[in-house]
């Protein structure tokens, strides 16, 4: 299957700072990338869907001004958590869909801890 990378894998930041997470499809062009959030011992909750070159579509209850998504190319999407607070601490996972594949490929996730 295809490979999706995420960077960084782990980040600790102070409350009020912004954190950028990158999601890259390494060997295929991702028409669509998805961003999920997973709190401890819970399921993956879809936050937003991003298509290359267009604005992201956010799920209900997800603040688009707080979670900025940019999908500037077919291999890169970024999620920026702005003015992070401790309640934003979570595991953020991206997935990518596209090319000749009929499934989503997940990145390894980014564990964000906001102090």
Partner 1 sequence: GQQVMQIPQYQHVQEGEDFTTYCNSSTTLSNIQWYKQRPGGHPVFLIQLVKSGEVKKQKRLTFQFGEAKKNSSLHITATQTTDVGTYFCAGKEDSSYKLIFGSGTRLLVRP
| Residue 62 sits in the site that holds partner 1 (CB under 8 A) | no
Binding partner 1 (rule: CB under 8 A), the pick from 11, 28, 34, 112 is 34
Considering only residues 72 through 101, tell me which ones interact with partner 1, judged by CB under 8 A: 93, 95, 97
Instruction: Give how far Cα 50 sits from Cα of 11, 28, 39, 44, Å.
Output: 23, 16, 21, 17
**What is the nearest approach in angstroms of partner 1 to the Cβ of residue 92?**
10
Strands 45-51 and 57-58, bridge-based pairing? antiparallel
Instruction: By CB under 8 A, tell whether 5 contacts partner 1.
Output: no
Residue 107 makes contact with partner 1 by CB under 8 A: yes
- As a whole number of angstroms, the distance between CA 111 and CA 75 comes to 21
């Amino acid at each position: 299957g295809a490979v999706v990378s995420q960077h960084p894998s782990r980040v600790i930041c102070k409350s009020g700072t912004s954190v950028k997470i990158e999601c890259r499809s390494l060997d295929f062009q991702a028409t669509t990338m998805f961003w999920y959030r997973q709190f401890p011992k819970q399921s993956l909750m879809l936050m937003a869907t991003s298509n290359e070159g267009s604005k992201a579509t956010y799920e209900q209850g997800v603040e688009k001004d707080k979670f900025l998504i940019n999908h500037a190319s077919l291999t890169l999407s970024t999620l920026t958590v702005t003015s992070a607070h401790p309640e934003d601490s979570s595991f953020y996972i991206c997935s990518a869909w596209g090319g000749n594949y009929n499934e989503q490929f997940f990145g390894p996730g980014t564990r964000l801890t906001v102090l």
